[in-house]
């Protein structure tokens, strides 16, 4: 059977667009979705339109919110931190949907249904380096046999996942990591562009994102990106209040430039044998006040060919294609390929340079 029943953990900007995008894809049926407030499960297929309409609303910060959307108090700070949550009507987030139930243990609730779920897209902000690996471990501990796909960004998280590869293999999990746009789509493009060369000297990734839906609908993404600015890191970005983030956005006139980011493209290309991680640079511009991309997203791979020539292969994304399409299309494509590999008995940790996404 080609049909894939999948779940989405997290219904922020990425999770919501993944659900919406899946309705245009063949063989994909979203059967479960959750956030920190609620869980919706229907093994015949969720009513995506109803779920998105019910959860449409503002994002607000709530002190005391658990940082891992699991219902567990994973955040050691006294006030629990400021965590972005969807709000709508009398109930918050997914719990506002007629298909959903309020819960304090959303990830556990999805795990309880996982025998009937082929794949899980983890669309949660990785504001602790080991958070997504810990989520994967929870599925493994429950003897889940299926696919986990994430769109994480940080290089050091890949090593944490690789350390757990044996656990995933024993469980029967195929874990596809860094499977969004960058890392993900652009990592794969760099791996293809490298095939002209016998030695790759450098890979330069320069991205541009205009947030059509605005800062209010993408606070998790913006918070993660701010962690890459000079003087910030994951811990400090996690501690920022919404007001402080808005002040940073204002300081940059809504257009924030990033250079030499700690992006997982480097280690993912190294583990695929393309080049050394030190030869990869990632930077870009985030514009939270414009629908238009502030710069063209480009991958440039420079190397030496077998006949001694030196050249650069360049790959560009069209400026008119949205971030939602460039993140969620590849994520769902890698999810499809992950299910094929899983059904063929291939388990462990895979990166986007190891696989071609399915269409």
Please pick, among 224, 263, 270, 293, the residue that the annotation labels catalytic: 224
Strand partners, 285: 208, 257
Please pick, among 72, 145, 201, 228, the residue that the annotation labels catalytic: 228
HEC per residue, 134-202:
HHHHHHHHCCCCCEEEECCCCHHHHHHHHHCHHHHHHHCCEEECCCECCCEHHHHHHHHHHHHCCEEEE
Structure tokens at 256: 């924030």
Q: Which of 24, 56, 52, 28 is nearest to 40 (CA)?
A: 52
Structure tokens at 202: 């450098």
Please pick, among 62, 86, 113, 153, the residue that the annotation labels catalytic: 153
The length of the chain, given as a count of residues = 359
Structure tokens at 223: 């918070």
Provide DSSP, 196-223: G-SEEEEEEEEEEEE-TT-GGG-HHHHH
Q: What is the CA radius of gyration of the chain?
A: 20
Q: Assess whether 228 carries a catalytic annotation.
A: yes
Q: Assess whether 141 carries a catalytic annotation.
A: no
Q: Assess whether 62 carries a catalytic annotation.
A: no
Helix 219-226 / helix 242-251 crossing angle, nearest 10 deg: 70
Helix 185-193 / helix 323-343 crossing angle, nearest 10 deg: 80
What amino acid positions are annotated as catalytic residues? 153, 224, 228
């Amino acid at each position: 059977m080609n049909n894939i029943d999948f779940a989405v953990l997290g219904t922020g900007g990425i999770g919501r667009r993944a659900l919406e995008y899946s309705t245009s894809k063949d063989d994909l049926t979203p059967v479960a979705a959750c956030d920190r407030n609620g869980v919706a499960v229907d093994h015949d297929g969720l009513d995506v339109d109803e779920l998105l309409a019910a959860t449409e609303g503002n994002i607000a910060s709530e002190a005391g919110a658990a940082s891992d959307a699991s219902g567990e108090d994973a955040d050691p700070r006294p006030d629990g931190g400021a965590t972005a949550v969807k709000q709508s009507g009398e109930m918050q987030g997914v719990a506002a949907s007629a298909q959903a139930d309020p819960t304090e243990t959303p990830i556990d609730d999805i795990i309880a249904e996982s025998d009937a779920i082929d794949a899980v897209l983890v669309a949660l902000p990785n504001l602790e380096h080991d958070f997504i690996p810990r989520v994967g471990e929870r599925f493994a501990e429950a003897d889940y046999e299926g696919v986990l796909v994430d769109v994480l960004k940080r290089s050091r998280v890949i090593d944490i996942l690789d350390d757990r590869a044996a656990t995933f293999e024993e469980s029967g999990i195929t874990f596809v990591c860094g499977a969004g746009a960058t890392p993900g789509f652009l990592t794969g493009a760099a791996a293809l562009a490298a095939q002209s060369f016998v030695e790759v000297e450098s890979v330069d990734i320069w991205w541009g994102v205009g947030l059509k839906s605005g800062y209010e609908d993408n606070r998790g993404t913006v918070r993660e990106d701010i962690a890459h600015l000079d003087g910030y890191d994951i811990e400090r970005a996690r501690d920022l209040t919404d007001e402080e983030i808005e002040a940073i956005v204002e300081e940059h006139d809504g257009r924030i430039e990033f250079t030499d980011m700690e992006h997982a493209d480097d280690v993912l290309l190294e583990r695929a044998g393309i080049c050394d991680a030190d030869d990869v640079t990632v930077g870009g511009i985030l514009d939270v006040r414009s629908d238009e991309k502030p710069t063209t997203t480009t991958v440039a791979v420079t190397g030496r060919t077998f006949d001694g020539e030196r050249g650069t292969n360049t790959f560009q994304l069209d400026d008119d294609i949205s971030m939602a399409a460039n993140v969620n299309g590849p994520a769902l494509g890698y999810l499809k390929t992950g299910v094929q590999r899983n059904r063929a008995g291939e388990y462990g940790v895979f990166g986007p340079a190891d696989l071609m996404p399915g269409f």
